[in-house]
Amino acid sequence: MASAPSKLYQDDASLVVALLDTNPFFWAAASLPFSEFLQHVVPFINSLLLLNQLNRVVLIATGTSSCGYIFDSGEANSNANANANANALCSGIIKKLEDFVGKDSKIAKGPNGNGDATRPAISSLLSGSLSLALCYIQRIFRSGARHPQPRILCIQGSPDGPEQYVAVMNSIFSAQRSMVPIDSCIVGTQHSAFLQQASYITGGVYMKPQQLDGLFQYLAAVFATDLHSRNFLRLPKPVGVDFRASCFCHKKTIDLGYVCSVCLSIFCKYHKKCSTCGSEFNQGTVDSTTREQKR
């Protein structure tokens, strides 16, 4: 599908689509409780709306089995009672997040109540929330000749899910083609290779705060600035980017692998036939099959 035609942007107005990790398994073991985490995120959302009356903020929850829209300032502004004060905004977001987490837990458990929710290190559905964010931005692209500059902010704590590698990379390249930066704020204990690549490829900002107690200060100082103002600021840059890929056969992150010369699918072991495109490889073509080392 062709990308949306370019529009006339407003330099200082921003459309921020924030992806909020609501994985209960991560937050149950996190040093910062989820309730205190929201006390940093909700004021940050308020600050974005206060910086410019044309700013728009959309909040998407990233669960373990589903994703969903939680808050849209554009819709809230149409209702005078929805944004009467900060307390109403905070209570509304928290109530919707609670409902979402409950529904997501039921989906994870399945009809029998004993699904994948028993796994302690389950990853969040990052690929799904990125897709929702890009679909929303494309709808804004086609809504009129003037609109705020869009960007995506991923506030992620859960570890990467290697099984989502293809879907996440497709979303990253879609964002790159649409010129939508993906910012990343990691609140977990380990870095995210997916989001390192996302921010690097799309020209976004990647940061892992050292002190979560001051999370609001990090968000306000780094991620509140519009894209035009970033040209005049010295924002943090990642020390390195993990470019390792995940194999298509076992969904594991690998350093060395076999690459199909037809469809570029990656495998951790040699296969006589590509499971993606069906191309067959005989013994004579084993040496010609690309085996690359990821940087």
Residue 288's pLDDT is 42
Cα separation, 146 vs 9, in Å, equals 6
Residue 268's pLDDT is 81
Beta 8-21 vs 146-156: how paired, if at all? parallel
Residue 32's CB: how many other CB atoms inside 10 A? Answer: 16
Q: What domains sit in the chain, N to C, each tagged with a CATH number?
A: 14-230 (3.40.50.410), 244-295 (no CATH)
Residues forming beta bridges with residue 8, ordered by sequence position: 146
Phi and psi angles of residue 56, each rounded to the nearest 5 degrees, phi first: -135, 135
**Token pair belonging to 295:** 């940087």
Which residues in the chain belong to E strands, given as ranges? 8-21, 56-62, 67-72, 146-156, 182-186, 206-207, 245-246, 253-254, 256-259, 266-267, 290-293
What lies within 8 Å, CB to CB, of 76 at 6+ separation is 82, 83, 89
Residue 197's pLDDT is 92
Cα separation, 293 vs 195, in Å, equals 20
Predicted TM-score of the model (pTM): 0.80
User: Following CA atoms 51, 54, 55, 57 in sequence, which dihedral angle do they give, to the nearest 10 degrees?
Assistant: 130
Average pLDDT by consecutive 10-residue portion of the chain (295 residues)?
Answer: 50 90 91 91 91 91 93 70 60 87 79 51 88 94 83 94 88 95 93 92 93 92 90 80 74 77 77 78 52 44
